[in-house]
Amino acid sequence: MKIISKRYIFISLPDHKRTLLRLLFKIPFLKEKKIQVRIPLFSNKVFWQDHFWEIGMDDYPLKKIKKTIQESGLNIVRDYVPIDCPWTHYFLLEK
């Protein structure tokens, strides 16, 4: 991806963590506020076909994923988990 991209790369990775609680506040005349509280599953030994490398599994914490991306020569411009899709972690990378 780094070779064929002109400047940016956008990737998504599955995230083993699950959302415990999501709240959305909308008060008239104020900006909408979203809050998401996440916790890991009790067991990190659950494997689903090819998803043994998901973020949050024993050998793949988010910190390690970010470090690997940076070691590849890419800069993380932004990373986030959307409130409506908590099982996916998105990364916007720059060459």
In a domain, 69, yes or no: yes
In a domain, 1, yes or no: no
In a domain, 68, yes or no: yes
Domain residue limits at 80? 8-94
Q: Does pTM top 0.85 for this prediction?
A: no
pLDDT of 32-68, one tens digit each? 888 777 665 555 455 556 666 688 777 788 899 999 9
The 8 Å CB, 24+ separation contacts for 9-12 are 9/74, 9/92, 9/93, 9/94, 9/95, 10/90, 10/91, 10/92, 10/93, 11/90, 11/91, 11/93, 12/88, 12/89, 12/90, 12/91
In a domain, 65, yes or no: yes
In a domain, 3, yes or no: no
Instruction: Name the residue type at position 40.
Output: P
Q: What are 87's strand-pairing partners? A: none
Q: Are 60 and 54 in contact (CB under 8 A)?
A: yes
Total structural domains in the chain?
A: 1
